[in-house]
Amino acid sequence: MSSNDSVIKIGAGEATLSQELLDSCIHCGLCLPACPTYLATGREMESPRGRIYLLAKWQEQGGELAPRAAEHLESCLGCLGCQTACPSGVNYEAILDGARPHLAARRNGLLRMVLRFSFTEILPHYGRLKVFGSMLRTVQLLKFDSLAAKFSTSKLAFLRKLADFQMFTPVVPNHIPLPKKSWRAGTKSGAAKLFSGCVMDVFYNHVNHAALRLLVRQGNIVEVPEQTCCGALAYHAGEDDIARVLARRNIALFESAVDNDKIVVTSAGCGAMLKHYPVLLANEPQWADRASKFATRVQDLSQTLAAGNFPADTMSCASAAGPESQTKAHIVYHAACHLAHAQGVRAEPQALLSALAAGIGAHLYDLPEAEHCCGSAGIYNLLNTSLSLKVLDRKMKFIEESGADLVVTCNPGCMLQLEAGVKARGLNVKVKHLAEALDDACQ
């Protein structure tokens, strides 16, 4: 927000509403077909236009935000599909981000305490996170997790949430630590620092290993430095203070007097957050500049791999990998919101997938509404499970109709949501991260 905005702080937890931003919406409704919650419910107040209207009314009238209005705002996925669709350039992200701390402050006290504990005491500490992952893996190996599914109709909210958690939890793999430094003999084309992420490294550790192999194959010297959670889950839950602490910590950890290597990210959600640090720390003079320098180094893995002749190289290595790899697969690409809408990265994953499909003789089809959210949206699927499943239903309908046997995406949240959809429908469809699909073809 610019300094001459008419900004008001309103309500508990201080929503920051800008008159200028709210007035930029001309209520044309062109964003409605791009909004997954509007498509799932058909309700105006579950649309971007409706939500902007609610906030504008609140700013005008002051006082308490009505509980129903707060629910409509809470049900927003934050997917930013509306921002891409809006011809007037409404900055919906800034509008929503301004309201989120207030929504967090209204949350049930116990739930908020559990969330804040997870954001500060679990996610940023990779050692604790790995212990949590191992415990989850043991529960799954002993098949105790299937017990949780039986709680879906329980009268106790806590048990119902346990069932939801089980539904969205993939099989946790055995965690293999990433090597601190990797390279291969011969000419080096560059150097990269891998941002492994917290959710990604616990649930999809093999994706980070695949990404590392691809980066090394491209000729990079790859380091996995000390790092912490990017803060995206805390930020999108309205806990800005936690996100700021994590942002400062990551900036300091990646700053180095000797190099300025690119920071390569395998999770679209983390990448969007890391690129958002300059906005997050804009009002902190000692950090604003450092945040901007940090953000210019951040790249999604697909951006790094699409540079140079890597797509052509992928095509030739995939076609040379032998007849077993010629799967004749039907591939579709689901664009993660935080890659397409938040980072504007579209061409690179498509180029890599086209090269892959050409290399292995597979068919790459356009998925209808490929850029529409799948309903995962961080922890949205746990907080708003019923609407999340409605949004997922629409996505799965298109996947099923496409006849795909492989869905490729670039975000761990999308992967676990789509895997839950595949499991619920008993489909014979694999969900893979782009890194995994590329790496598998070149093994």
Positions touching ligand SF4 (CB under 6 A) are 25-31, 34-37, 48-49, 51, 76-82, 86, 88, 90, 92
Distance CA 361, CA 364 (A): 10
Q: What is the distance between the alpha carbons of residues 3 and 21, in angstroms, rounded to a whole number?
A: 12
Question: Which residues, including other chains, have CB under 8 Å from residue 306's CB and lie 6 or more apart?
Answer: 347, 348, 349, 351, 352
> C-beta of 303: minimal distance to ligand SF4 in Å?
23
Residue with tokens 């450092």, as numbered in its chain: 290
Distance CA 204, CA 207 (A): 5
The least distance separating ligand SF4 from the CB of residue 37, rounded to whole angstroms, comes to: 4
β-pairing verdict for 190-195 and 262-265: parallel
Helix (H/G/I), strand (E/B), else coil: 28 = coil
Report in angstroms the alpha-carbon separations of 85 from 34, 52, 94, 159, 433: 7, 15, 16, 39, 26
Between CA 123 and CA 286 the distance in angstroms is 26
Rounded to a whole number of angstroms, the minimum distance from the CB of residue 4 to ligand SF4 is 21
Nearer Cβ to ligand SF4 (30/245): 30
Minimum separation from the CB atom of position 82 to ligand SF4 (A): 3
Is 34 or 224 the residue whose CB approaches ligand SF4 more closely? 34
Cβ neighbours around 313 below 10 Å, total: 17
Q: Do residues 234 and 119 lie in contact, with contact meaning Cβ atoms separated by under 8 Å?
A: yes
Of 49 and 102, nearer to ligand SF4 (C-beta) is: 49
Contact status, residue 398 vs residue 369, Cβ threshold 8 Å: yes
**Whole-number minimum distance, CB 385 to ligand SF4, in Å?**
16
Q: What is the distance between the alpha carbons of residues 243 and 72, in angstroms, rounded to a whole number? A: 24
Residue 164 CB, shortest distance to ligand SF4, in Å, is: 19
Closest approach of ligand SF4 to the CB of residue 186, in Å: 46
Residue 343 CB, shortest distance to ligand SF4, in Å, is 15
Identify which of residues 269 and 359 has a Cβ nearer to ligand SF4 in the complex.
Answer: 269
Least spacing, CB of residue 147 vs ligand SF4, in Å: 33
For residue 77, the Cα-to-chain-centroid distance in whole angstroms is: 11
The residues near 114 (Cβ < 8 Å, ≥ 6 apart) are none
Least distance CB 340 / ligand SF4 (angstroms): 12
269, 232 contact by CB (below 8 A): yes
Of the pair 72, 432, the CB lying nearest ligand SF4 is at 72
Q: How many Å apart are CA 8 and CA 260, to the nearest integer?
A: 39
Considering the complex, state which of residue 211 and residue 391 has its C-beta at the smaller distance from ligand SF4: 391
Q: Which is nearer to ligand SF4, 13 or 81 (CB)?
A: 81
Name the residue nearer to ligand SF4 (CB basis): 82 or 172. 82
Contacts 24+ apart (CB under 8 A), 223-226: 223/180, 223/181, 223/191, 223/192, 223/193, 223/194, 223/261, 224/178, 224/179, 224/180, 224/181, 224/193, 224/194, 224/196, 225/180, 225/193, 225/253, 225/254, 226/253
* Beta carbon nearer to ligand SF4, 28 or 149: 28
CB of 96 to ligand SF4, least distance (A): 7
> Rounded to whole angstroms, what are the CA distances from 135 to 27, 128, 208, 414, 440?
49, 11, 21, 23, 28
Quick one: 79 or 136, whose CB is closer to ligand SF4? 79
Q: Residue 52: CB partners within 8 Å, gap ≥ 6?
A: 22, 25, 90, 92, 95
**Nearer CB in complex with ligand SF4: 95/246:** 95
